[in-house]
Amino acid sequence: MSAESEIVSRLINPGIIAVVRAQKAEQVLPLSEALLAGGVIAIEVTMTTPNAIEAIREARRKIGDRGLIGVGTVLDADTCQAALAAGAEFVVTPICRPEFVRIAHAAERPVMLGAYTPTEAQFAHEAGADFIKIFPTDGLGPGYIRALRAPLPHLRIVPTGGVDVHNVADFFKAGCAAVGVGSSLVSAKILQEANWAELTRRATEFVNAARRDFTDVHG
């Protein structure tokens, strides 16, 4: 199994990707440890985090193989290359930039390209994206994903925005490969209070919900 294939496999089991918009770089390592303690192994550090590249580098060095540290909100090729050089294990962008596929795959790392409509989603797939990030999912819900996958069942969809512990199972039942979870998991309050125990508790809730659905669907 290639490095890229192994990362893809780990991203979809249990399929919870924490979208981290930290208030300062120093929060990334402790919040990552808290997420890992709750069973969330995929951590997307967005470029809106101050000094995100260095935060990714440190987290990747300290966490090693215990989790997956990725980069999110990537908007240009230079950022994509810098994050991969710092050790990012997957790349996420809210937009559709096909050149990111070449850069990520050259480093044997998977990439999620952003899309909103069926045309955009199929275009991202044809560009070589490993996953299609449907964003923003707020207001769309699992029903949109189900409708999208009816004619396009080959898409590996990762909705982001509007996913919470109450509807996460419905997103998986709609056929999502994984889900991106932001403020309903890593909230501003948790970050302000450095309440890592609460973050671990929430992570556990999400993982349990995802695993219950996986069992229901796959037997």
Provide the pLDDT for residue 219.
Answer: 43
| Domains, in order of start, for the chain | 3-214 (3.20.20.70)
Contact (Cβ atoms closer than 8 angstroms) between residue 149 and residue 121: no
Burial (Cβ within 10 Å: 0-12, 13-18, ≥19) of residue 217: exposed
Given strand 157-159, what is the order of strands in its sheet? 157-159, 131-134, 111-115, 91-92, 68-72, 42-46, 16-20, 179-181
Which pLDDT score, from 0 to 100, does residue 1 have?
62
CA distance 26 to 193: 14
Q: Which residue has the tokens 């590249």?
A: 53
CA-wise closest residue to 127 among 107, 156, 98: 98
pLDDT for 211 equals: 80
Q: CA distances (Å), 16 to each of 75, 146, 210, in order?
A: 23, 19, 8
Residues noted as catalytic: 44, 133
pTM value is: 0.95
What is the reported pLDDT for 21?
96
- Cα–Cα distance for residue pair 160/199, rounded to 1 Å: 19
Rounded distance, CA 95 to CA 148, Å?
Answer: 18
Q: How far is 167 from 163, CA to CA, in rounded Å?
A: 6
Residue pointed to by tokens 């932001």: 182
What tokens appear for 55 in the block?
A: 């935060």
Say if residues 36 and 63 touch (Cβ distance below 8 Å). Answer: yes
* pLDDT given for residue 2 in this prediction: 77
The token duo for 218 is: 């796959």
Weakly modelled stretches of the chain, pLDDT under 70 = 1, 213-219
Amino acid identity, residue 71? V
Catalogue the E-assigned strands of 55-213.
Answer: 68-72, 91-92, 111-115, 131-134, 157-159, 179-181
Helix (H, G, I), strand (E, B) or coil at 30: helix
Q: What is the pLDDT of residues 131-171, one digit of tens each?
A: 999 999 998 999 999 999 999 999 999 999 999 999 999 99
